[in-house]
Amino acid sequence: MFEKYKKLLTQYVAFKSISTDEAYKPEMLKTANWLMELLGSFGFKTKLLKGKFCNPIVFAEYVVNSKFETVLIYGHYDVQPAEKVDGWGSDPFKLVEIGNQKSKFKNKFIARGVVDNKGQNLIHIVAIGELIKQGKLKYNVKFMIEGNEETANPDIPQIVTKNKKLLQSDYIMISDGEIHGTSPTIEASLRGGFSMTVTYITGKTNLHSGLFGGAIPNAAHELTKLVASLYDKNNRVVIPGFYDGVINVDSLTKNIHKKLHGNGKHITKLAGVQVLCTEKGCDFYTQTGLRPTIQATGIKTGYIGDGYANIVPAMAEARLNVRVVSPQNPAKVFELIKKYIKIHAPKHVSVSITHTEFNQPILVDINNPKVKEVRGLLKKVYKKEPLVKYVGGSIPIVADFKKLLGVETLLVSLGNDDCNMHGIDENFSVDLIKKGLDFSTQFFSK
């Protein structure tokens, strides 16, 4: 099965299915067609779902027995941009295998998308294809593999709503993440959130910094005061009510996180930073997985081109990314931030605020029977106790599935944590691919 997987992965990663660049539109269609053909060859009924803006979504369905339970597997065939000149050791769109005896994962496949997400969704495709051939498939299976995960597909809610019946299922499975070291993981939560733009206007036009500087309001000064005011010296957000609803971490999770955190040096090394700036007494995993945050992702004010402009900027804009945790409501948190800004901004500043869609945070009940089954199986395959991972990122579609289909998602990561997803030399451990194929086969097998 591994050899078949390798052959197919070689073809799959060769498509330059880069969704962030319109120029690759034809390549997206080729990739979708390749998936349709592959799934069709296993006996799946296939169909392309189309949205207003997005690349076609590959939908495929295989019914073993209408009385069986149905599992919907979500994945994506689009990838981040990659060019050899970025620093790759080889052509990013040609699968290569390298051996490194020093690494905890000895052999690795390298290519763009090898982990995120082609390599991971292909594990389920190949394992299930084999089970169909052997007549051992335990569930009816549906695949939904989209082409705009990397660009935050705006059509998803509409497409899911429109195809509610088609997508209906008992469980949803997503494998689009990393395990921790050599320990398998099940993801128990995802932060939700939104982005917002705060614009400060202090005057009709930029003025001369010589003729007016020091005597009139400076939008850059005013906005920096706002952003700087958001955190106290213990790195807590000072906005009243910002932490309302946040659940205290239970002592079991706290202990696991403390152990994972250790002295934190592996984290600062991975992140390329000097120190961690968690809240007082908080470890990295609790901080990113179970605590809300506000991060400035960009500031725009004045002149930042070559040379200098001698101006007092009349406009300044901050982009903020807000992350909330279950059961917080991102819309409510937005109102708190808005209220704080309105109170904080001086009267002579004209303030405007916009925001993106609100993504709901996700909390999986790790004691539900299906999750327990997955955990047991992971332990059997990886020969290690699975870790419960609280993820700082968001996968908006998980909230959409919950809201629109009423179905919980099983978040089973299969990638190695040094895979360098989105970076150069993206790689997937051969050992973990084999374990992934084993897990998928056992999970879907009668």
Binding residues among 293-312 for a second copy as defined by CB under 8 A: 293, 295-304, 308-312
Among 41, 274, 280, 343, which residue sits at the site for a second copy (rule: CB under 8 A)?
Answer: 274
**281 interacts with a second copy by CB under 8 A:** no
Using the minimum distance from each CB to a second copy, give the nearer residue, 183 or 209. 209
CA distances from 381 to 56, 73, 314, 323, 384 (A): 35, 20, 61, 34, 8
**131 interacts with a second copy by CB under 8 A:** no
Among 199, 202, 328, 441, which residue sits at the site for a second copy (rule: CB under 8 A)?
Answer: 202
Among 38, 115, 220, 256, which residue sits at the site for a second copy (rule: CB under 8 A)?
Answer: 220
Tokens standing for residue 37 = 């053909």
**272 interacts with a second copy by CB under 8 A:** yes
Between CA 411 and CA 409 the distance in angstroms is: 6
DSSP letter (8 states) at residue 405: I
Between CA 55 and CA 58 the distance in angstroms is: 9
Beta bridge partners of 238: none
Among 230, 362, 404, 410, which residue sits at the site for a second copy (rule: CB under 8 A)?
Answer: 230
Task: Say if residues 237 and 231 touch (Cβ distance below 8 Å).
Answer: yes
Question: Minimum distance between the CB of residue 270 and a second copy, rounded to whole angstroms?
Answer: 9
Question: Minimum distance between the CB of residue 422 and a second copy, rounded to whole angstroms?
Answer: 8
**76 interacts with a second copy by CB under 8 A:** no
**213 interacts with a second copy by CB under 8 A:** yes
Using the minimum distance from each CB to a second copy, give the nearer residue, 43 or 393. 393
Q: Select the span of 116-124, 266-274, 362-370, 382-390 touching a second copy (CB under 8 A).
A: 266-274
**212 interacts with a second copy by CB under 8 A:** yes
In sequence order, the 6+-apart residues with CB closer than 8 A to the CB of 373 are none
Between CA 446 and CA 436 the distance in angstroms is: 18
Q: Would you say how long the chain is, in residues?
A: 446
Site for a second copy in 50-69 (CB under 8 A): none
In sequence order, the 6+-apart residues with CB closer than 8 A to the CB of 326 are 189, 192, 247, 360, 361, 362, 363
Site for a second copy in 309-328 (CB under 8 A): 309-314, 316-317, 319, 321, 323
Strand order in the sheet with 362-363: 362-363, 185-190, 387-391
**361 interacts with a second copy by CB under 8 A:** no
Between CA 415 and CA 109 the distance in angstroms is: 12
Using the minimum distance from each CB to a second copy, give the nearer residue, 170 or 317. 317
Among 69, 277, 365, 372, which residue sits at the site for a second copy (rule: CB under 8 A)?
Answer: 277
For 49, half-sphere exposure in the C-beta direction (CA atoms, 13 angstrom radius) is 24
Mask 172-201, x = binds a second copy (CB under 8 A)? Answer: -------------------x-x-x------
Between CA 291 and CA 243 the distance in angstroms is: 8
How far is C-alpha 169 from the geometric centre of its chain's CA atoms?
A: 22
Amino acid (one-letter) located at 242: F
Question: Minimum distance between the CB of residue 273 and a second copy, rounded to whole angstroms?
Answer: 4
Site for a second copy in 411-430 (CB under 8 A): 422
**231 interacts with a second copy by CB under 8 A:** yes
**243 interacts with a second copy by CB under 8 A:** no
